[in-house]
Amino acid sequence: MAAEINKQELLPHLFRTEYRKITAVLYKHFGFEHPEIAEDIASDTFLTAAEVWGLKGLPDNPVAWLYTVARNKAKDHLRRNKLFTQKITGNLQAAYEGTDELVIDLSDEHIRDSQLQLMFAICQPILPPEAQIGLALRILCGFGINEIADAFLSNKESINKRLFRAKEKLREQNVRIEFPPPTQISTRIQPVLTTLYLLFNEGYYSSSKDTTLRKDLCLEALRLAVLLTENKDTNLPDTNALIALMCFHASRFEARTDEHGEMIRYDEQDTSLWNAELIAKGNDYLNRASQGDQLGKYHLEAGIAYWHTINADTTQKWENILQLYNGLLQVAYSPIAALNRTYALYKARGKQEAITEAEKLQLNDNHLYHVLLGHLYTGVDQQRAIKHLQTALKQAKTTTEKNRIRKDLEKLE
């Protein structure tokens, strides 16, 4: 019975860890000309494992067994394809030559290189960000179509169409799965980091109540970012700064929602749930990111996230966060960053100055803008606070956000 339970748990675990490795190597071999072949062979490998292991029991080395079967299936596919081609041309002898010498390299080093090269191939400016993230989840992370649909709060049909169009675009543009030349790494890595940043945010700020899925998205983004540090050409300060940012945010993951999936604001979080190990890792990567003379967006965001892991509510803490936001807005302005800055301004210098700065933003169509003003006006002008929260309630899109705003309104009313 124990063996049966282990077998049932092992295959799904291996699918999550090994499917993406096998797929990456096969993609590297077949390219974007035939993307369905790589995924079909990888899927068929696990289908065969389910059938054979169910009848004969687990092999001594399940991972090696999967790699051998995947290798053989790839060779069989090429042999059949070559045989079909040679039948048409009449040269049958050539159909059987060379296939046995085919190398499908599933060594750790080649798997790592294939995944890194795929990352650069997928993260192309020619694709919209949501397509890059979708392909990264499918090919690099081994997520199923249903999981991706859930992550995007979409449906299976829409995701299939999105991934198909993305693969077609990469095929049409003849995108190669290879490392950029060393001279291009510094520019080509930015779309890669952006995709990983967006992938992490998709999990961290997701409105989905599926906590396991949200956490998986964050951990996969972190895993892929760490993978970049294992190659000397991509182990750059920006890469380490992004990892630090992810670690700091992920350290507070468990404290951000209650048992009903409702969002808990930062100042109400149970700090005992913050993950000290991830905070320590974040500090380590932030120290690595300090090598060099550049201070980029991820450095500043990581600095802000670091101060949020300091369990204190002092004016100096918020002044430090405010100054980092000032730098961030100069390097990479965004309305949300400007909005977040006004909260730090309130904590450092009081509500009146924060209200003045917040109202300059005029983000009237953003429910978070009205939530913040509702918070800032509380205790200053109750009627304005209620009006802003009522507007936020109308604009909020998810049940989780609406529930939180209703609770704030109930306190005021």
pLDDT tens, position by position, for the chain (413 residues)? 334 446 678 888 899 899 999 999 999 988 998 888 999 999 999 999 999 998 998 999 999 999 999 999 998 988 887 654 544 444 444 444 544 556 678 889 999 999 999 999 999 889 999 999 999 999 999 888 988 888 887 899 999 999 999 999 999 999 999 988 888 888 889 999 999 999 999 888 876 667 777 888 899 999 999 999 999 999 999 999 999 999 999 999 999 988 877 888 899 999 999 999 999 999 999 999 998 788 899 999 999 999 999 999 999 999 999 999 999 999 999 999 999 999 999 999 999 999 999 999 999 999 999 999 999 999 999 999 999 999 999 999 888 889 889 999 998 87
46 within a domain of the structure (yes/no): yes
The per-residue pLDDT for 102 is 60
The per-residue pLDDT for 72 is 93
146 within a domain of the structure (yes/no): no
Q: C-alpha distances in angstroms, 143 versus 151, 218, 257?
A: 10, 13, 24
Q: C-alpha distances in angstroms, 173 versus 30, 118, 168?
A: 16, 15, 8
113 within a domain of the structure (yes/no): no
398 within a domain of the structure (yes/no): no
Q: What is the CA radius of gyration of the chain?
A: 25
The per-residue pLDDT for 7 is 62
Q: Say how far apart CA 305 and CA 326 lie, in whole Å.
A: 14
322 within a domain of the structure (yes/no): no
Q: Say how far apart CA 354 and CA 322 lie, in whole Å.
A: 11
35 within a domain of the structure (yes/no): yes
The per-residue pLDDT for 365 is 95
Q: Is 332 left (phi over 0), alpha (psi -120 to 50) or beta?
A: beta
Q: Is the pTM of this model over 0.85?
A: yes
Q: Which tokens hold the place of 321?
A: 């966060």
Residue by residue, DSSP assigns 172-223 as HTT---SPPPGGGHHHHHHHHHHHHHHHHHHHHS---S-HHHHHHHHHHHHH
148 within a domain of the structure (yes/no): no
Q: Say how far apart CA 100 and CA 76 lie, in whole Å.
A: 10
* Cα four-point dihedral sign 166, 171, 174, 176: positive
389 within a domain of the structure (yes/no): no
In the chain, the number of structural domains is 1
The per-residue pLDDT for 390 is 96
Q: Which residues form the domain of 90?
A: 2-106
